[in-house]
């Protein structure tokens, strides 16, 4: 159902874009709009991952510089049936993470230093599994396309202000109609974009829970990340709000509710859905949730020898892709 809904919303976004082109310049304007959309999407397809990683100052890590994080992602990728993505760390105190890339063969996952310092090992596994779910569902490409079209709609509507009053063009609305289009079209595009974003988050939460093996790990992580976002400003994200929809929790300070223009569902709703999924899986609703283990995924106080070995702690052995089953 999520796939069908996303397809309908993408078709609606494309139709809106071409409709704005037609309202501004008739059939010629519609064709120009189509050409602009194709060019922008082609550019985004090849360059969006590098742009967003550079924008947030992400640095690539490997087995030498971050062995346990990389090994964890390797194990989760094997469970998901995915190639291992490139792994990045962002020096930012706000706990958060995102995935990017045009396809599973050219994907990357990025986690902030705040996330690695705040969450325990199981919670980080849940977050990374969520990001791998986005890659598996090709959400990274879908969201890049929708963000590009939404930006193009706004750009095209603004162009209409300059060309709408020209009697020599093919504009069927005139200046007043174009002025209305200039205001309404970007809002409509934003609504479609946020609807697609929220749909994909629920789907990635569920698949991510399957990949990591315990929905409660991700549910607990979401609660901690949401609290961290409230306490810690992400200045880079605030300066580049167009990338906010990529993160597991909206990093911006002004969008915390499941409202009309939020790119993410309410965290409480996502946690409730994950707890329901845990019950469907026959897992105790409290398993792994609110774990009293110390913060930070790699501390010796948490027990275990790394992502490939079992972990013991206050609640006993943990199940997951690194053993202990």
pTM of the model: 0.75
Residue 258 φ/ψ, nearest 5 degrees:
-80, 65
Q: With 0-12 CB in 10 A as exposed, 13-18 as middle and 19+ as buried, what is 61?
A: middle
Quote the pLDDT of residue 154.
65
Quote the pLDDT of residue 238.
87
How many CA atoms within 13 Å lie on the side-chain side of 58?
Answer: 25
Quote the pLDDT of residue 273.
94
Catalytic amino acids? 131
d(CA 222, CA 296): 15
Quote the pLDDT of residue 171.
54
Give residues with Cβ within 8 angstroms of 190, minimum separation 6.
150, 261
Determine the distance from the C-alpha atom of residue 323 to the mean position of all C-alpha atoms in its chain, rounded to a whole number.
Answer: 28
According to the annotation, is 134 in a ligand binding site? Answer: yes
The mean pLDDT values, 10 residues at a time, for the chain of 325 residues are: 61 72 71 74 78 92 96 97 97 96 92 97 97 92 71 64 50 57 65 70 94 95 96 89 86 60 83 94 59 39 36 37 37
According to the annotation, is 264 in a ligand binding site? Answer: no
């Amino acid at each position: 159902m999520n796939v069908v809904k996303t397809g309908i919303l993408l078709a609606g976004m494309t139709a809106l874009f071409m409709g704005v082109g037609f309202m501004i310049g008739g059939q010629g304007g519609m064709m120009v709009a189509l050409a602009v959309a194709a060019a922008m999407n082609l550019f985004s397809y090849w360059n969006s991952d590098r742009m967003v990683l550079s924008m947030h100052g992400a640095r690539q890590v490997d087995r030498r510089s971050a062995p346990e994080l990389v090994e964890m992602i390797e194990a989760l990728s094997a469970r998901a049936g995915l190639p291992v993505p490139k792994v990045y760390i962002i020096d930012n105190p706000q706990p958060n993470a995102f995935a990017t890339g045009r396809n599973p063969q050219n994907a990357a996952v990025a986690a902030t230093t705040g996330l690695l310092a705040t969450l325990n090992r199981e919670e980080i596994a849940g977050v990374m599994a969520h990001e791998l779910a986005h890659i598996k569902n090709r959400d990274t490409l879908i969201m890049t396309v929708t963000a590009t079209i939404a930006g193009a709609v706004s750009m095209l509507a603004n162009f209409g202000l300059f060309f709408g009053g020209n009697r020599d063009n093919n504009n069927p609305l005139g200046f007043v109609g174009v002025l209305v289009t200039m205001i309404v079209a970007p809002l409509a595009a934003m609504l479609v974009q946020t609807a697609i974003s929220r749909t994909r988050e629920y789907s990635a939460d569920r698949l991510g829970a399957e990949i990591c093996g315990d929905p409660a790990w991700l549910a607990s992580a979401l609660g901690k990340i949401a609290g961290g976002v409230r306490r810690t400003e992400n200045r880079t994200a605030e300066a580049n709000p167009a990338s906010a929809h990529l993160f597991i929790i909206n990093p911006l300070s002004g969008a915390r509710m499941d409202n009309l223009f939020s790119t993410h569902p309410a965290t409480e709703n996502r946690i409730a859905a994950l707890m329901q999924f845990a019950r469907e899986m026959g897992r105790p609703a409290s398993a792994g949730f609110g774990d009293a283990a110390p913060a930070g995924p790699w501390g010796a106080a948490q027990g275990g020898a790394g992502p490939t070995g079992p972990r013991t702690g206050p609640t006993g052995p943990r199940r997951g892709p690194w053993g202990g089953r």
